[in-house]
Amino acid sequence: MSTTRPQGLTLTVRDAQPSDHPAMHDVLLAAYREYAAALPPAVFDGYLADILDLDGRARTGRLLVAEHDHRVVGTVTWYDDAAAEGIGWPTGWAGVRALGVDPAVRGRGVGRTLMRDCLERARAAGAAVLCLHTAEFMTAAVAMYLAMGFRRVPAFDFDAARFLRLDGVPPVRVIAFRLDLTQEDPHR
């Protein structure tokens, strides 16, 4: 558990408990619903269902929450071995998935605080790489990842429609990023 104070918020990042799942669900729903218009309806519905499957991700990763004033304002799933995500990452890389921030506190460092916690966990676990997927239309997330030193790895991009087993739906590219942890990180 760690506590930080970005932009006027006192944030505590900790492992989520099952009792946090309703609040996490609400944060993820609020954070991701804005992308409904950017995706074909079948893809968005499947993607949102996957994002909201907290129990499923808890079986393979660790759910984390960021709290402010005893309220969940952000969440992310941490994988000490990204291969457990089942999306094609190599064994031995750490991974991040389903980062979501309550829109009421966006732009105040919640997402960056969760990502820094994941970076610390990856370094502590001895991972050589921290990796994640996102979408090009998630421009704020892409900008944050790039500012933190992540770089694109197109070899790990995938088609969300195919991943969700949706026939007859145009491809939706999900883009991959990695941060090498074996070198000193200039963005620490």
Q: What is the DSSP string of the chain?
A: -EEE--TT--EEEEE--GGGHHHHHHHHHHHHGGGGGGS-HHHHHHHHHHHT-HHHHHHHSEEEEEEETTEEEEEEEEESSGGGGSSSPPTT-EEEEEEEE-GGGTTSSHHHHHHHHHHHHHHHHT-SEEEEEE-TT-HHHHHHHHHTT-EE-GGG-EEHHHHTT-TT----EEEEEEEE-SSPPTT-
In a domain? residue 187: no
C-alpha 132/C-alpha 82 separation (Å) is 9
* Total domains present in the chain: 1
pLDDT score of 6:
56
CATH number at residue 53: 3.40.630.30
pLDDT score of 23:
98
In a domain? residue 11: yes
Confidence of residue 162 (pLDDT cuts 50, 70, 90): confident
Confidence check: pLDDT of 188 > 80: no
In a domain? residue 139: yes
In a domain? residue 188: no
Confidence of residue 166 (pLDDT cuts 50, 70, 90): confident
* The pTM of the whole model exceeds 0.85: yes
In a domain? residue 185: no
The residue-averaged pLDDT of 99-109 equals 95
In a domain? residue 84: yes
In a domain? residue 31: yes
pLDDT score of 186:
47
Any long-range contacts for 95-99 (C-beta under 8 Å, 24+ apart)?
Answer: 95/61, 95/130, 95/131, 95/132, 96/130, 96/131, 96/132, 97/57, 97/61, 97/132, 97/133, 98/28, 98/51, 98/57, 99/74, 99/75, 99/132, 99/141
In a domain? residue 137: yes
pLDDT in tens, 51-87: 999 999 999 999 999 999 999 999 999 999 999 998 8
The residue-averaged pLDDT of 115-142 equals 96
What is the domain range of residue 53?
Answer: 2-180
Q: Which of 94, 4, 100 is nearest to 50 (CA)?
A: 100
